[in-house]
Amino acid sequence: MSTIQTQGTEEVHPDVALVNRARQGDVAAFEKLVRQYDRQIFRIAQHITQNREDAEDVVQDAFLKAYEKLDQFQGNSKFYTWLVRIAVNESLMRLRKRRTGKMVSIDEDVETEEGSMPRDLADWSPDPEAQYGQSEMGDILRKTIQGLPPGFRVVFVLRDVDGLSTEETAESLGLSIPAVKSRLLRARLQLRERLSRYFRKNGKDGAK
């Protein structure tokens, strides 16, 4: 029977060793970090830029920037949180380039009526996903989340899809903890409200 042995009181995240090796020029160690996180970074970049080409560029540029700046990584936060912050900034930069003249920011607080109080109170069918095929479901979910303001979208993705903590999300986005909490609640409620049109008990009737 195996036993779990604790070594010391400080638990060191496995990424720290890889970062240290990469800092000394070990590209293979950095490659492991790339393989570990490229999917998540691509997902975040897609959610922010909503453009596949931009998202591909963000993945490349974010990892390269991280590699160049490894010396600046303090180790107070997780490597992934630090990497996400770089990727979010790169994504916003791409978005600004595409929408010249348009303000693009995730730290502006969007006041919307929607989401403060649920309006659609119909219950969902017991297995709402069964009503749609896999690809139709993907379309519904993408369309629904794309309708949210970018600042809500990215908080939802980091907290609920990626599983970052409130503190890590705040750090990645340069937001306060209350701002993250308020956006998360509104994002969750708005998504719920919008999905209700597709998933309510009466089936697809309301989805038009």
What residues pair up with 124 in beta bridges, in sequence order? Answer: 200
Residues at the contact surface with other proteins, assessed by CB under 8 A: 27, 30-31, 34-35, 38-39, 42-43, 46-47, 55-56, 59-60, 63-64, 67-68, 117-118, 121-124, 128-129, 137-138, 141-142, 145, 156, 160-161, 181, 184-185, 188-189, 191-192, 195-196, 199
CA proximity to 150, closest of 196, 102, 117, 203:
102
Q: How far is the CB of 34 from other proteins (least distance, A)?
A: 6
Residues in the chain, how many?
A: 208
In the complex, minimum distance from the CB of residue 206 to other proteins, in angstroms, rounded to a whole number: 14
Closest to other proteins by CB, 12 vs 139, is 139
At its nearest, how many Å lie between other proteins and the CB of residue 179? 13
Instruction: Please say which residue, 6 or 202, places its beta carbon nearer to other proteins.
Output: 202
First to last CA, the chain: 59
Nearest distance in Å: CB 26, other proteins: 11
105-122: b or e for each residue (b if 16 or more CB lie within 10 Å)? Answer: ebeeeeeeeebeeeeeee
Q: How far is the CB of 202 from other proteins (least distance, A)?
A: 14
Find the shortest distance in angstroms from Cβ 186 to other proteins: 10
152, containing H or E segment: helix 150-156
Q: Which is nearer to other proteins, 103 or 117 (CB)?
A: 117
Question: Looking at beta carbons only, is 4 or 121 nearer to other proteins?
Answer: 121
Minimum CB distance to other proteins smaller for 128 or for 149: 128
For residues 14 and 178, which CB has a smaller minimum distance to other proteins in the complex?
Answer: 178
Count CB neighbours of 85 within 10 A: 18
CA–CA gap between residue 49 and residue 143 (Å, rounded): 14
Single-letter code of the amino acid located at 171: E
Contact 187, 114 (CB under 8 A): no
**Is the Cβ–Cβ distance between 10 and 112 less than 8 Å?**
no
